Each structure stands twice: as structure tokens, then as C-alpha cells.
Amino acid sequence: MDFVVRIQVEVVEIRILIEGKTYEAAGAAEAEKLLKQRGAFAIMAGGQPRDLSFISQARADGEVEGLTFGSKEGRDIYRHSTAHILAHAVRELFPDARFAIGPAIEDGFYYDFDVPAPFTPEDLDAIEKRMLEIIKRDSPFVRREMKRGEALEMFGRMGETYKTELLESMQDDTVSIYEEGGFTDLCRGPHVPSAGAIKAVKLLSVAGAYWRGDEKRKMLQRIYGTAFSSASELKKHLERLEEIKKRDHRKLGRELDLFSMNEEVGPGLILWHPNGAIIRKTIEDFWREEHLKAGYKLLYSPHMARLDLWKTSGHWDFYRENMYSPMKVEEVEYEIKPMNCPFHIAVYKSGLKSYRELPVRYAELGTVYRFERSGVLHGLMRVRGFTQDDAHIFAREDQIGEEIKNILDFTLFILNTFGFEDYDIYLSTRPEKYVGTEESWELATGALKAALEHKGLKYEVDPGEGVFYGPKIDIKVKDSLGRAWQCSTIQVDFNNPERFDVTYRGEDGRQQRPIMIHRALMGSLERFFGILIEHYAGAFPLWLTPVQVEVLTIAERHIDFARQVADNLRREGIRVEENFDNEKIGYKIRQSAVRKVPYSVIIGDKEVEERGTALSIRKRNGQSFGPFTLSALIDLLKEEIKTRR
């Protein structure tokens, strides 16, 4: 529950507004007490989060917002305070530990430690138990400010080399520290008033993490945890984590034989198995068909190009850390491609274009390669080689608005078809490092904003998160567990047409510069597939699933007829597998359900006798129905596939 506090110094009383209700407090002490009663453990003053005690310093003409666990800022403060308690517990149990950083993260927190030996699961249990003891002590968090030099000297005496390194990188003359129950930490704050404000905490895991993310630096021990404002909320979250674990695409990828990675091939490079490959083909076929309907022309481009191409595009200057080292071919340097856009520009420039031909829409499922450190690789979600569903539109300035609206419609259609109907939209503006004029950036940003507003789509502005050549719209889909995933992006680019001297002949006969729109609907095909696996928990809708029907026999005498049924289904374009093994039918049905096959057709004496006029059908959820004629079953399957339910 968030609310506003107004302080009227000249009349002594403080007026507190809580969800439209007015409360009066006689002075800061009473206001602080009332805020605590209403669940606030910090405040927002002057646009900055502050400790609750700061209310006594609030200006008479300022507004103070009470921060509770219900707000993102409040949750971050709550969890960062819990990370501080984690560090306190480690100090008491492991006196030789040295301390790095302990921020709040989405749904939790972590703290990095330098310890002589890695933490064990038993260590985590002991640390969590000690955290609960510290919370019970309920010592206050006390903020102190000191000169940076004094702090350097203090943490130097304590042997806290990571804290001193952090201090050395700071520019401020004055820094803040927090003390709680005898434990001191370097921290900007704010914190909850005391340790007892933390109601429910759980340590989740431990992992290695390089100091400052640099693989050349020391590997630290990172303890992850989470904290909630009540035990019931924590329980729900832990249940959700268990569900996430069950849906892990790496686990399901193995169980359903969809894909794998191999150290001999190389980390971050995906091997698509037959089951995964048929799903990928289905996605690609749908993608191509819809793009052709939408007026796009399909392209294929090489996997590498001369290094000079990437210098012209600006990638070599702005994106080099994500690119691989160039290779020499006949003394000429070549670069494996991190993007498809320069190739699409080359296709556009292969012939003269008139204003009548614009917009020109090129689309490609183009495989690109980007350097990702081994520590951040994660299944299909973070890889080194992936296929991007890329498209580039070359348009006149007067066409941009309509094209962006069309792309938004197309994007949402594609996402909805795959079962994503909830999403967050962000408008990302000019970053610090950029190319082009401020004028062109304002024009491009305005076009994106106008299209969003015309479509009535809610969005947030994400300041400074545009790409170096232009602003963008990012769409994050929410899966069945409510998690947000970055997929779709729409970017307006005035820069590359200039760099590559891209033109068209205008109505007046003069050469004019088109505007380029970059867009991806699914983003990385690998990542999108990983999201789909977790969204559906591997139980894909019929149109996507690798095996749509499995034909099962009860006994060996049923095989000949069962094979006829399977062949008939296959001829109708249904993806079928046969299980004629000498196993009990109950076992075969269970195996089919484990493999998440949508439909099983069970063939026994009755089905053979009826010759396809009374088939028994079982769905993967355990529901049995029928009898069905073979032709009725085919019609049912085709309709479900056609509607992509």
C-alpha cells in the first residue's frame, strides 16, 4: 500500500494521505509511527528513496511517499536489507569471509563472498538459521556518513579489499555506511528501520560469480535468496519456483528429445534433434507464409562478410565486444555476421528504386553469431549462434507511421498465435553513445510514440535504452507463469541509409534518402523456442507438437490394422508415431503421456473388428472419448491444427 505524506512545518501537524483518506500526525515521530502501522518501512522524498527516519528532515513544501512491499522500490529496499542480514550471518559463522556486493534483484537478492572453501548446502541451512536469529534480535539499521578517505582507512583495517576497491572507484567525497547489530557494511541504502521488519526469508542456492563479472578476476561465492512480507507469500513464491524448475527448457529439452549442446561442438551452439527440428520447421513455415501474405519478400544472406562492411555499418565501432575476431581470406579480413541488416541493404542497392516501389520489405530467418562469455550462456536463452526472424523495411518519411502501425499489428498477431496475449511495451530513447542528429532521433522517437498511441497500446518510456542508430519499441511477452521475456523489437534507423548511401528516385526525379525500419517479431528463434517450451511446460498445442498422434496396440494381432490407421493419418499430413511394442497397454499410454503426445489411438479387438468405424481415443490429460470413425478423427485433428488452438 503506497501513500503520500504532506508535512506542514508551520502548523506542526503532518497531513498523511492514505488511499484518499486523510490522517493527521502531530510531528515527525507520530508520522513515522503511523507510517509503520500502515506497512511503510521507507519513504520516497525528492524523487529519492530514503530511510523512514528521514521524514524528520522532509521539507514543508515536499511530498513524501510511503514505500511498502507493494511497490517495486519498497521490495528492493526490503530485499537489499535482507542481503545485509545475510552478510551479517556469514560474518558470524565464517569470520574469514570477505564481502563484495549484495544487491536486490528481481524476486530476491544475492551477496558475493570471498571464502576459503565453497559453501555447501549444509552451510546454507546454517546461514539461514542464523539470519532468523539476527531478525529476531531486531537490531536497528543505523546510517552514518563519513569522508571517503576515512571509509577507505576503516575498511582497509578490516581487510575488506573488495569494499576498498569499490570506494576507490567512487567520485563522492562523502559515503554512507550502515550498522546493524555490530555488523558494518558500505551501502548507499536505504534500509528497513530494523532487522525485525523482515518477516519471511529463504536462501535458495549458491553459485560461482567472478568479481565485477570479469573472468580474469577471482571467482566468488554468490548466495541467492528471496524475502517476502509474509510467510504465505513466501510459500506461494517457493511453489512457483518449483513449477519453474519443472518447466526448465533444458530439462524438458532432454526429456522430450528436442535439442542438445555438446562440448565437442562448442558451448552456446545448439543441436536440433528431430523432435525439435519439426517444431522449428512448423514455426518457420508459419512465419514465411504470414510474411508473404503481409507483402514481405524473403531473402537469404551469407554467414560472413568483409570486415569493411561492419565498419561502414558502425557495428565495428559500437558493437565490437559482441563480435568475434576477424579471419583472413586471401589477405582480406572477414567477419562472421552478428547482424543481417548490411546484407539487406546490399540487396536493396543491387538495383535502382523509385518512390513508387516503396515501402520495400525484406525478411529473413538469418543465423547470426555473437560473442557471449561462457558464464552467461544458458540453454536456448543465451547462445552464441542463433537464428533471428529479421526484417528491414525501406520507406519514405511519409510512410513511417503507417508501417510502424502495421508492424505492431503483425507482431501482436504472431505473438497471440503462439499463445502470448499479455505483454509489456517499452519505448527506448537515445543512449549516451549514438550516431545521427538529435533532430532525426526526435523524429524517429515521435513516429514510434504516435503509432503506439494510435493503437491505444499502453507503454513505458525506457530512457537511454535505444540502440546506437535509433530509438526502438520493445515488447516483452508474459508466459503462463507471469514471467516477462524480451522478444519483439521495432527500430527506426536514419543512420544506415546515410552510411551506405541508400537512395530512391523521388517524384521530382532527384535521389532521396529512405528511412530504414529494423524489426524482429520473435527475436532469436532459439530463445523463442525455449520460452515456448516453458510457457507450455512441453505440452505444445497440436499444430506445434512434434508427434500429434500415437497409435498404440493392445496385442500383436492388432499390428496390421494399427499400421493401416497410422498410414492413413500420415497421408493426411498428421505427424504420427507407432508403438507396437510387446508391452502392456497401460504402460504404453503412460509413456505417451510422459512424451506429451496430444492424442493416442488405441487399437484392440473391437477396433479391428469395426475396421476404423469405432476408434478409441485418449488425450494426454487422461480424458478418453469416442468412438470415432477414422474420417471423423482426421477432420477433428485437421480443424484443431488449422485454427492453431
Per-residue pLDDT tens over the stretch 16-42:
544 445 566 667 777 778 778 778 898
Task: Give yes or no for a contact between 364 and 300, defined as CB atoms under 8 angstroms apart.
Answer: yes
All three cell numbers of 105, joined, read 534483484
Q: What pLDDT, on the 0 to 100 scale, is given for residue 186? A: 95
Average pLDDT over residues 253-260: 96
Task: Give yes or no for a contact between 198 and 99, defined as CB atoms under 8 angstroms apart.
Answer: no
Torsion of CA 218, 219, 220, 226, to 10 degrees: 140
Q: How many whole angstroms separate alpha carbon 405 and alpha carbon 410? A: 9
The 3-class SS string of 310-379 reads HHHHCHHHHCHHHCCCCEEECCEEEEECCCCHHHHHHHHCCCCCEHHHCCEEEEEEEEEECCCCHHHCEC
Q: What pLDDT, on the 0 to 100 scale, is given for residue 454? A: 93
What separation in angstroms does the CA of 136 have from each of 37, 91, 131, 202, 464?
19, 17, 9, 15, 43
Which region among 319-323, 373-377, 479-483 has the lowest average model confidence (pLDDT)? 373-377
Query: Could you report the per-residue pLDDT of 492-507, keeping only the tens digit for each?
Result: 988 889 899 999 999 9
Which residues have a Cβ under 8 Å from the Cβ of 289 and sit 6 or more positions away? none
Average pLDDT over residues 606-634: 88
Task: Give yes or no for a contact between 601 and 565, defined as CB atoms under 8 angstroms apart.
Answer: yes
Averaged pLDDT score across all residues of the chain:
90
Q: Is the pLDDT of residue 160 over 80?
A: yes
Assign residue 603 a region (left: φ > 0; alpha: ψ between -120 and 50; beta: otherwise).
Answer: beta
> Nearest CA to 26 among 9, 13, 10?
13
- Which residues make up the CATH 3.40.50.800 domain(s) of the chain? 549-643
What is the sign of the dihedral through the CA atoms of 464, 465, 471 and 472?
Answer: negative
**Bigger pLDDT: 54 vs 355:** 355
Which of the residues 518, 519, 527, 595 is marked catalytic? Answer: 518
Q: Which DSSP state fits 627?
A: E
Give the HSE-up count for residue 613: Cα atoms under 13 Å, Cβ half-sphere: 3
Average pLDDT over residues 462-468: 86
All three cell numbers of 403, joined, read 508501417
All three cell numbers of 360, joined, read 520495400
Q: What pLDDT, on the 0 to 100 scale, is given for residue 31? A: 72
Query: Is the peptide bond between 546 and the residue preceding it cis, with omega within 30 degrees of 0?
Result: no
All three cell numbers of 546, joined, read 512434434
Has 392 been annotated as catalytic?
Answer: yes
Has 91 been annotated as catalytic?
Answer: no
Q: Is the pLDDT of residue 106 over 60?
A: yes
Q: What pLDDT, on the 0 to 100 scale, is given for residue 53? A: 86
Which region among 23-27, 205-209, 545-549, 610-614 has the lowest average model confidence (pLDDT)? 23-27
Got the DSSP string for 454-466? HTT---EEETT-S
Has 518 been annotated as catalytic?
Answer: yes
Q: Which DSSP state fits 391?
A: E
Query: Is the peptide bond between 190 and the residue preceding it cis, with omega within 30 degrees of 0?
Result: yes
Cα 27 to chain centroid, rounded: 45
Strand partners, 478: 484
Q: Which CATH class is domain 271-532?
A: alpha beta
Which of the residues 123, 389, 390, 479 is marked catalytic? Answer: 390
What separation in angstroms does the CA of 197 have from each of 16, 194, 322?
22, 6, 43
All three cell numbers of 385, joined, read 549462434
- The share of the chain scoring above pLDDT 70, in percent, equals 95
Q: How many whole angstroms separate alpha carbon 180 and alpha carbon 168? A: 24
What separation in angstroms does the CA of 66 have from each of 41, 229, 306, 347?
7, 16, 57, 57
Q: What pLDDT, on the 0 to 100 scale, is given for residue 469? A: 79
The 3-class SS string of 485-520 reads EEEEEEEEECHHHHHCCCCEECCCCCEECCEEEEEE
Q: What pLDDT, on the 0 to 100 scale, is given for residue 174? A: 94
Q: How many whole angstroms separate alpha carbon 489 and alpha carbon 549? A: 36
Which of the residues 130, 249, 280, 472 is marked catalytic? Answer: 472
- Which residues make up the CATH 3.30.930.10 domain(s) of the chain? 271-532
Which of the residues 370, 430, 595, 596 is marked catalytic? Answer: 370
Which region among 57-71, 419-433, 543-557 has the lowest average model confidence (pLDDT)? 57-71
Q: What pLDDT, on the 0 to 100 scale, is given for residue 15? A: 56
Has 187 been annotated as catalytic?
Answer: no
Q: What pLDDT, on the 0 to 100 scale, is given for residue 524? A: 93
Average pLDDT over residues 416-426: 94
User: Cα(first)–Cα(last) distance of the chain, in Å?
Assistant: 39
Query: Could you report the per-residue pLDDT of 164-193, keeping only the tens digit for each?
Result: 999 999 988 999 999 999 999 999 999 999
Q: What pLDDT, on the 0 to 100 scale, is given for residue 321? A: 87
Q: Is the pLDDT of residue 299 over 60?
A: yes
Q: What pLDDT, on the 0 to 100 scale, is given for residue 554? A: 94
pLDDT band at 161 (very low <50, low <70, confident <90, very high): very high
Q: What pLDDT, on the 0 to 100 scale, is given for residue 7? A: 44
Has 535 been annotated as catalytic?
Answer: no
* Alpha helices per DSSP H over 466-596: 495-499, 525-536, 559-571, 585-594
> Nearest CA to 453 among 467, 439, 473?
473
Task: Give yes or no for a contact between 303 and 490, defined as CB atoms under 8 angstroms apart.
Answer: no
Which of the residues 80, 392, 430, 595 is marked catalytic? Answer: 392
Average pLDDT over residues 288-295: 96
Q: What pLDDT, on the 0 to 100 scale, is given for residue 1? A: 45
Which of the residues 341, 527, 588, 595 is marked catalytic? Answer: 341
Q: Which of the residue ranges 308-322, 458-472, 587-601 has the most confident prediction, judged by mean pLDDT? A: 587-601
CATH architecture observed for domain 549-643: 3-Layer(aba) Sandwich (3.40)
Which of the residues 388, 399, 491, 548 is marked catalytic? Answer: 388
> Nearest CA to 299 among 387, 370, 361?
361
Q: Is the pLDDT of residue 434 over 90?
A: no
Q: Which DSSP state fits 589?
A: H
Q: Which CATH class is domain 75-242?
A: alpha beta
Query: Is the peptide bond between 121 and the residue preceding it cis, with omega within 30 degrees of 0?
Result: no
- Which residues make up the CATH 3.30.980.10 domain(s) of the chain? 75-242
Amino acid at 428: S
> Nearest CA to 490 among 534, 459, 527?
459
- Helix/strand number for the chain, H first, E second: 19, 34
Q: Is the pLDDT of residue 3 over 60?
A: no
Q: What pLDDT, on the 0 to 100 scale, is given for residue 25? A: 64
Query: Could you report the per-residue pLDDT of 301-351, keeping only the tens digit for each?
Result: 999 999 999 999 888 888 888 899 999 999 999 999 999 999 999 999 999
Between β-strands 460-462 and 423-428, what pairing exists: parallel, antiparallel or unpaired? parallel
- 3-class secondary structure, 265: coil
Task: Give yes or no for a contact between 501 and 367, defined as CB atoms under 8 angstroms apart.
Answer: no
